[in-house]
């Protein structure tokens, strides 16, 4: 009963450092209560605005807890087809964000399941900011992907089997 199955890293990408990370969400420039639900590991939860009109953008910021050499980002779409594009930027201090090359206006529409962003190569940062938008056009609702996965490769990953009970 004490055994908990350990998280196994992806053999190529490594551990998902977004899993359990702190995240915040801003809607049309206003900070909202709670988080973006991108890092909770639950593919049945997702942040969404109430149904209505006037929704232009949602900005989610992920705090990885320490600076990482990010090598890949993936997302699980869920019902996020209401959003056309995302702009991705990174920061080491949470104040000054640098746009990631090739990921400004990246089209997410009609991409279902688990998808990979065309990551340009290792990018150093502690904070990852994603601005979900439709080029300024208003939407009736904005639904974010259900999961975001952030990787830094396998070089610094180790997997140890937990010791649970007497060795026989």
The structure's pTM equals 0.87
Question: Measured on CA atoms in the order 38, 99, 103, 27, is the torsion positive or negative?
Answer: positive
Give strand pairing partners of 22: 63
Own/partner long-range contacts of 46-52 (Cβ < 8 Å, ≥24 apart):
46/78, 46/79, 46/80, 46/143, 46/144, 46/145, 46/146, 47/143, 47/144, 48/141, 48/142, 48/143, 48/144, 49/141, 49/142, 49/143, 50/141, 51/140, 51/141, 52/140, 52/141
The overall average pLDDT reported for the chain is: 87
47: nearest Cα among 19, 83, 74, 17: 83
**Entry field: residues in the chain:** 168
Residues 149-158: tens digit of each pLDDT: 999 988 887 7
pLDDT at 100 over 90: yes
**From 79-83, 86-90, 122-126, 128-132, the region with the lowest mean pLDDT:** 79-83
**CA 25 to centroid of chain Cα atoms:** 12
Residues 38-93: tens digit of each pLDDT: 998 888 888 988 888 788 999 999 999 999 999 999 999 877 666 789 999 999 99
Looking at per-residue pLDDT, the higher value among 159 and 64 belongs to 64
Cα torsion for 64, 109, 105, 25, to the nearest 10°?
Answer: -40
Looking at per-residue pLDDT, the higher value among 141 and 67 belongs to 67
Q: How confident is the model at residue 34 (pLDDT cuts 50, 70, 90)?
A: low
Residues 4-29: tens digit of each pLDDT: 666 778 888 999 999 999 999 999 88
- What is the residue whose two structure tokens read 């990631």? 100
């Amino acid at each position: 009963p004490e055994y908990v199955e350990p998280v196994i890293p992806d053999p190529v990408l490594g551990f998902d450092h977004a899993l359990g990370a702190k995240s915040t969400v801003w809607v049309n420039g206003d900070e909202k209560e709670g988080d973006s639900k991108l890092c909770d590991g639950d593919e049945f939860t997702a942040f969404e605005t109430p149904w209505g009109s006037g929704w232009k953008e949602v900005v989610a910021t992920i705090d990885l807890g320490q600076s990482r050499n990010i090598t890949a980002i993936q997302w699980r779409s869920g019902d996020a087809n209401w959003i056309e594009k995302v702009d991705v930027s990174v920061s080491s201090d949470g104040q000054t964000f640098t746009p990631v090359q090739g990921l400004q206006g990246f089209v997410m529409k009609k991409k279902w399941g688990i998808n990979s962003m065309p990551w340009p190569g290792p990018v150093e940062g502690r904070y990852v900011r994603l601005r979900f938008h439709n080029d300024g056009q208003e939407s009736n609702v904005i639904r974010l992907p259900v999961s975001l996965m952030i990787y830094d490769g396998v070089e610094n990953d180790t997997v140890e089997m937990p010791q649970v009970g007497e060795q026989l």
